[in-house]
Amino acid sequence: MEYRIHHEIPGRVRVKLAGRVPDSDLDALIKMTSECPVIRKIQVYGSIGQMAIEYANGETGRAAVLSHLDGITREDIERAKAGYAMALAPRTHALLLQLARIVGAYVARRWLFPMPIRTLFAINAFLPFLAAGWQALRRGRLTVPVLDAAAIGISFIKRDPKTAGETMFLLHVGEALEDYTRAASENELIGSLLDVPDSVQKVQGDTEVRVSAESLKPGDLVAVRTGMSICIDGVVERGVAMVNQATLTGEPLSVERAVGDDVFAGTVVEEGDILVRVRESTGETRLRSIVALVEHADSLKSNVQSHMEAMADRIVPWNFLLAGIVAVITRDLTKTSAALMVDYSCALKLAGSIAVLTAMSNAAKAGIMVKGARYFEAFAQADTIVFDKTGTLTEAAPKLVRVESANDAWSEDEILRLSACLEEHFPHPVARAVVHAAEERGLEHRERHAAVEYIVAHGIASELDGRRVVIGSKHFVIEDEHAQLDESLAARIEEHFMGLSPLYLAIDGAVVGVLGIQDPIKPGAADAIAQLKSMGIEHIVMLTGDYAKTAERIAREAGIDEWRADLLPEDKYAYLASLKEQGRRVAMVGDGVNDSPALSLADVGIAMGQGSDIAKEVADIVLSDTELAALVTLRRISSGMQRRMMGSYRKVIGINSALLALGIGGAITPQTSSLLHNASTVGLSLVNTSRYV
């Protein structure tokens, strides 16, 4: 990058760039410059082509900053710009500069030019308004641009270019403030979502390590299996998988991805497992996915928001009707103009949109990612919550507390070693408990088994030295696989596994061992459920594929109204369908691949952040916090958003109706009504940016 040092003091340098920085490049330049680790703060002054940088580490830091600037190319800027579709940092100084230009141009025309020249300026400024209004009329729509063009046009008809200029000046100021308010809310939401962590299975030699996605670099190798999301752009190096790319392409059916194929961040592996070589910076791909989420969320409006926007569009023709009536009755163009200067549309749309963006931002700061406004509304109106058990009501990190061997041929350590070798490939809470227990005992293993197959809601199957190996629930191992269970082992399970969740390991049709998983209820779960009941949730249910005795204990400790045990995914789905047939508004909370069908059926599906990626993809809301208190926070935010949007609706109607009445009555001028209208719109929007909880 071309630059020269303009001024510097220790810890701060100001550089002069080769020329003015376009607004479209500002965010990309800030992003690329901030990648230098010693830089603390960056300020870019685009209009004068300068950049101020604060840095750490003295002379060493200065050298690192200058070296970093030397390495930034035009290609880097273009690549950074391609990573997102909207400005990431709406800058206050940019708003002030824009307002200064609007005010300066208006004052200069008023004071420096005679009336004929000012009239020409006013006519020229009117042309964009006239074009926008004409385009709307050509589409057969009476919208706000038509209102604005008509109101300004009346001033020209009255041969009053001074009033026309004042009106356009006020409209430009109001538009700048409204655009900044919306952009600031979107930016805050994106920043909040960027703080929600992601993790991946990084391949290091012959082992896999769970690491933060942010730590990945181009060239790293990542393992992705059934139910896991792909959080990077890369190329498949090994394996075959069916990948759901609906978030990128809109195509509902998964596509096959094999060696040499590209895969992209934000997609999910529905079946199979692959090793992916990272191609792009994880920061850029994550940012692109989040921006896509924010843009997609705009299409998922709540009923209240949709009603406000529909009302806004329907009111505009009535503005014209009112203006016509005023013109006929009063024959006063000033009062007619007053009827056109105040519209409900901008205020209704902007206030509702800002309320939603603020709710999403507040939720993201609380570790809750909501994919659209309608899901806030659905959760605010929910009267029934259905919980999965493992990892949802119980700890996301259960513990293995007992291992029973069928006979002397298999020791406890051998059973645990083989079980961990199979389970380490899948990010399920029970799998992590087995792997962690093996690590604590120092049981190292090398993979002698063949490729593993994950069977949803059942367990894992593989081969070891030509023999079939399965591990999973009793239903899977004993009933589906028809493995034989020794009577003495069954008796020991009955005696020692009270309250534990058993995991059966069988080889060639014979159970060789059983692992007992302790599934303690989450701290604060009972308290959170009690609070949800006090907030209007009438019925709370727990569904699980676990034993009835374990389910009964968890339900009793958590204060749950109803529970069902020994369920398969299709059973959970059928139960939710029956609830909806009864007219209940249902929220489903789960974390596993087996919860995905029920999550998609519920009025609002909520996935725990530590659960499977496919559950998080299917769900409408994702909780990064594993504590159920997040649901209480979500209920408060959802209810608060509903109240705020209804309050905004009433205030917009009340304020603008009063301004119309005052303008038509002659108590205020059209310019004053326009000023108060724009001020109230921005004011209501700013009120809606305050925190909900």
Higher local confidence (pLDDT), 324 or 85: 324
pLDDT of residue 263: 84
The residue annotated as part of the active site, out of 388, 591, 595, 613, is 388
Q: Dihedral through CA 96, CA 98, CA 102, CA 103, nearest 10? A: 10
pLDDT at 64 over 70: yes
Q: What is the pLDDT of residues 303-324, one digit of tens each?
A: 665 666 666 667 767 777 777 8
Q: 688, 181 in Cβ contact below 8 A?
A: no
pLDDT of residue 563: 92
Q: Which residues, at least 6 apart from 76, have a Cβ–Cβ distance to it below 8 Å?
A: 32
pLDDT of residue 197: 47
pLDDT at 540 over 90: yes
pLDDT at 190 over 90: no
Q: 354, 689 in Cβ contact below 8 A?
A: yes
Higher local confidence (pLDDT), 200 or 610: 200
Its CATH architecture, for the domain 3-82, is 2-Layer Sandwich (3.30)
pLDDT of residue 28: 77
Cα distance between residue 394 and residue 205, in whole Å = 34
Its CATH architecture, for the domain 369-394+524-623, is 3-Layer(aba) Sandwich (3.40)
Q: 509, 484 in Cβ contact below 8 A?
A: yes
Run of H or E including 69 = helix 58-71
Cα distance between residue 587 and residue 287, in whole Å = 29
pLDDT of residue 374: 83
pLDDT over 90 percentage in the chain: 12
Fold of 199-294: 2.70.150
Cα distance between residue 541 and residue 147, in whole Å = 53
Q: 692, 642 in Cβ contact below 8 A?
A: no
pLDDT of residue 296: 55
* Per-residue pLDDT band at 6 (split at 50, 70, 90): confident
Which one, of 258, 223, 222, lies nearest residue 243 by Cα? 258
25 is catalytic: no
**Cα radius of gyration (the chain):** 31
Cα distance between residue 183 and residue 178, in whole Å = 9
Q: What is the mean pLDDT of residues 601-616?
A: 75
pLDDT of residue 532: 94
Q: What is the pLDDT of residues 528-537, one digit of tens each?
A: 999 999 999 9
pLDDT of residue 442: 85
Q: What is the mean pLDDT of residues 65-70?
A: 92
Which one, of 147, 144, 149, lies nearest residue 129 by Cα? 149
pLDDT at 118 over 50: yes
Q: Which residues, at least 6 apart from 209, have a Cβ–Cβ distance to it below 8 Å?
A: 201, 202
Q: Give the mean pLDDT of the chain.
A: 78
Higher local confidence (pLDDT), 353 or 585: 585
pLDDT over 70 percentage in the chain: 76
DSSP class per residue in 128-180: HHHHHHHHHHHTT---HHHHHHHHHHHHHHTT-HHHHHHHHHHHHHHHHHHHH
Higher local confidence (pLDDT), 636 or 334: 636
pLDDT of residue 183: 61
Q: What is the pLDDT of residues 476-497, one digit of tens each?
A: 888 888 888 888 888 888 888 8
pLDDT of residue 196: 46
Q: What is the pLDDT of residues 193-244, one digit of tens each?
A: 554 446 778 888 777 777 777 778 888 898 888 767 787 788 999 888 888 7
pLDDT of residue 346: 63
How is the chain split into domains, by residue range? 3-82, 95-191+299-355+640-687, 199-294, 369-394+524-623, 399-518
Q: What is the mean pLDDT of residues 371-379?
A: 84
pLDDT of residue 385: 94
pLDDT of residue 654: 83
Show the beta-strand stretches assigned E in 234-279: 234-244, 255-257, 262-263, 267-278
- Token pair recorded at residue 535: 């907030």
Domain 399-518, classified CATH 3.30.420.40, yes or no: no
Which one, of 685, 671, 676, lies nearest residue 152 by Cα? 671
Rounded to a whole number of angstroms, the distance between the first and last alpha carbons of the chain is: 45
Higher local confidence (pLDDT), 527 or 112: 527
* Per-residue pLDDT band at 88 (split at 50, 70, 90): very low
Residues in the chain: 693
Q: Lowest mean pLDDT of 10-14, 146-150, 287-291, 592-596, name the range.
A: 287-291
Q: Which residues, at least 6 apart from 482, have a Cβ–Cβ distance to it below 8 Å?
A: 509
Q: What is the mean pLDDT of residues 562-590?
A: 89
Q: What is the pLDDT of residues 246-273, one digit of tens each?
A: 555 545 567 788 898 888 776 778 778 8
Q: 520, 395 in Cβ contact below 8 A?
A: yes
